[in-house]
Amino acid sequence: MKRLDWNTLDETARREALARPAQARADELKQGVAAIIAQVRAHGDVALRELSAKYDRCALDAIEVTAAEFDAAEAALDEALKSAIREAAGRIDTYHRASQPRSVGVETAPGVRVERMLRPITRVGLYVPAGTAPLPSTALMLGVPAAIAGCREVVLCSPARADGRCDEAVLFAARVTGVHRVFKLGGAQAIAAMAYGTDSVPKCEKLFGPGNAWVTEAKLQVSGDPEGAAIDMPAGPSEVLVIADDVARPAFVAADLLSQAEHGEDSQVVLLSPSAALLDAVAAEVDRQVATLPRSETALKALAQSRLIAVDSLAQAVEVSNRYAPEHLIIQTDEPRALLDGIESAGSIFLGSWTPESVGDYCSGSNHVLPTYGYARSYSGVSVASFVKQISVQEVSADGLRAIGPCTVTLAAAEQLEAHRRAVSMRLDVLESRA
C-alpha cells in the first residue's frame, strides 16, 4: 500500500491520492457495453445464449432456472449454510421492515389535506454477481426489501457456471426471500435483458444490484434511455475507508482492509490515521495476513492501488473521508460515535473495534448494496424505499380553496401562466357568487 502524508500534498496530489483505481467510463468500455445492449435488443434470447457462451463459457439450454434446479440446489447445500441464510434474512427483514417509509397525511391549511401514499414498483430486476465469487448475500439484500415493498414480480439474474447452473446458495437465498423468477444470465447482457425484455426475460421497471465495471456501465446506459429502466444507483467495485487512532488494534484494521481488497483487483482500501505508529503496524499486519489468504493474488493487486494516509488529527480524517465519500466507512477510535456527527457522505458506517464491515455484508441487518466511486455524496444504499413509489395526493374543500386560492393566483400570475391562474380564479368566482 502506498504511504502518504496528507499535509505534505498539494491539491493535485490530494486529488490523485483519493482517485479511484479504475476509469469507470473509458471509451472502450462504453462502446463494448453499448454493443452488447444493441445485440440483446436486436436478437433477444439468441444473443443471450451467444453472449453466455462467449463470456461465461456455458451453453444455455433453458435460460430460466427451473423448479427442479431450485430443489436440487437446496438439497445440495449444507444445513449450516441454509440456517445461516435464513438467520441473516430474518435480521435483514427486521431492520428493513422497521425503517421502511410510511404513508402520511397532513392538513396544510383548514380544508386542505395533502397525503403521501406508497405503491410498490410492479416489476423489478435484481442482479447478483458471481464472477470471482458467488454472492448469495446480495440476493438477500435485494430480495428482502423487494418482498417487504410488495413488488408484484421480482426477477433475478445471476451468471451460470460452466455447467450451465447458477450457484446453489444464490438460488436458495432467492427462494428464501420470495424471488419469483431467476435467470442464468450475467454481465451487461443480463442488465440489457431485464431493461428491455426478451422472449424469456420480462422487461423490468427498475434494476438493482452491484457488479463489475461492465454491469455498472450497462446500468448507467439503460437508465439514460427512456425505453430502458431506472436503476438503484451506480454500484461498482467495492471500497472501504478506515479511520483509526492509536488505540485501534492493527490486526483488526488490517483484516478489515483485506476484507475489501479480496473482492476484486479494482477494489480500493484507504486508511487514515494521525498515528504514525499505527500506520506502520497496520502495514506490517497487512503484509503478514495477505500471505495467508486464498485470494491473496487478487488482494495484492487491489492493495497496489490503495493508500495509507497520515493526517494530523481525527477531525482532518473526517474531512478527508467526506471528500472521498466511501462506500464503507469504518471508525476504530477511542470514541467512534464522537465522530459521527461530522460524517456527511458514506454508504454505510461501522463504529468501534467490534463492528467489522463483514457483519454489514452478511447479517447485521443493514444493506450492503451501496454507492461507490464517490456516489455516496448523493445516493443512499438500497432500502425498502428503493422499491416503492411515493405518490402525493391532495384534496381541497371549498373553504380550503378560499384559503389558498389567492396564493395560487398570485404565484401563477408572477410566472405568467394564465391558464394556471384561471383554473383557480374561475373556481373562486363561482364560490364568491354563492356567498
Question: Do 250 and 177 have their domain in common?
Answer: no
Q: Residues within the annotated binding site?
A: 127, 189, 212, 238, 260, 263, 328, 361, 415, 420
- 171, 85 Cβ separation under 8 angstroms: no
**Where on the phi/psi map is residue 431: left (φ > 0), alpha (ψ -120 to 50), or beta?**
alpha
- 218, 228 Cβ separation under 8 angstroms: no
Query: How far is Cα 77 from Cα 12, in angstroms, rounded to an integer?
Result: 51
The per-residue pLDDT of the chain, averaged, comes to: 96
Question: Do 52 and 190 have their domain in common?
Answer: yes
**Residue 247 included in any domain:** yes
The vertex-292 CA angle with 291 and 296, nearest 5°, equals 60
Question: Do 69 and 190 have their domain in common?
Answer: yes
Question: Do 254 and 347 have their domain in common?
Answer: yes
pLDDT at 279 over 50: yes
The domain boundary, picked from 185, 214, 234, lies at 234
Q: Which residues, including other chains, have CB under 8 Å from residue 59's CB and lie 6 or more apart?
A: 49, 52, 53, 164
Q: Residues within the annotated binding site for substrate?
A: 238, 260, 263, 328, 361, 415, 420
Catalytic annotation present for 328: yes
- CATH at residue 415: 1.20.5.1300
Q: Which residues, including other chains, have CB under 8 Å from residue 1's CB and lie 6 or more apart?
A: 257, 269, 271, 283, 286, 303, 306, 307, 308
The domain boundary, picked from 207, 234, 261, lies at 234
Question: Do 79 and 148 have their domain in common?
Answer: yes
Which H or E run includes 426? helix 418-434
Confidence grade of residue 212 (pLDDT, cut at 50, 70, 90): confident
- 243, 272 Cβ separation under 8 angstroms: yes
Confidence grade of residue 24 (pLDDT, cut at 50, 70, 90): very low
Bridge partners (DSSP) listed for residue 153: 123
Question: Do 320 and 267 have their domain in common?
Answer: yes
Range of the domain at 427: 397-434
Q: Residues within the annotated binding site for NAD(+)?
A: 127, 189, 212
Query: How far is Cα 418 from Cα 435, in angstroms, rounded to an integer?
Result: 25
CA distances to 91, 138, 340 from 362, in Å: 10, 8, 23
pLDDT digits (tens, 9 = 90+) for 94-133: 999 999 999 999 999 999 999 999 999 999 999 999 876 7
Query: How far is Cα 22 from Cα 333, in angstroms, rounded to an integer?
Result: 30
Catalytic annotation present for 180: no
Query: How far is Cα 132 from Cα 6, in angstroms, rounded to an integer?
Result: 34
pLDDT digits (tens, 9 = 90+) for 47-96: 999 999 999 999 998 999 999 999 999 999 999 999 999 999 999 999 99
The vertex-87 CA angle with 81 and 88, nearest 5°, equals 90
Query: How far is Cα 64 from Cα 71, in angstroms, rounded to an integer?
Result: 14
Q: What is the DSSP string of 202-265?
A: PP-SEEE----HHHHHHHHHHHTSTTS-EES----S-EEEEEE-TTS-HHHHHHHHHHHHTT-T
Going along 140-202, which residue ranges are E strands? 153-157, 181-183
User: Span 407-416, mean pLDDT?
Assistant: 98
**Which residue among 327, 344, 368, 432 is the active-site one?**
327
pLDDT digits (tens, 9 = 90+) for 359-372: 999 999 999 999 99
- 230, 206 Cβ separation under 8 angstroms: yes
pLDDT digits (tens, 9 = 90+) for 374-405: 999 999 999 999 999 999 999 999 999 999 99
Question: Do 14 and 64 have their domain in common?
Answer: no
* Structural domain count of the chain: 3
Query: How far is Cα 159 from Cα 209, in angstroms, rounded to an integer?
Result: 13
The domain boundary, picked from 234, 258, 273, lies at 234
Would you say the pTM of this structure is higher than 0.85? Answer: yes
Q: Residues within the annotated binding site for Zn(2+)?
A: 260, 263, 361, 420
pLDDT at 435 over 90: no
Question: Do 94 and 182 have their domain in common?
Answer: yes
C-alpha grid cell, residue 86: 435464513
Q: What is the pLDDT of residue 134?
A: 85
**Which residue among 285, 328, 357, 368 is the active-site one?**
328
Question: Do 188 and 271 have their domain in common?
Answer: no
Gap between the terminal Cα atoms of the chain:
79
Question: Do 222 and 97 have their domain in common?
Answer: yes
Question: Do 318 and 405 have their domain in common?
Answer: no
pLDDT digits (tens, 9 = 90+) for 123-165: 999 999 987 678 999 999 999 999 999 999 999 999 999 999 9
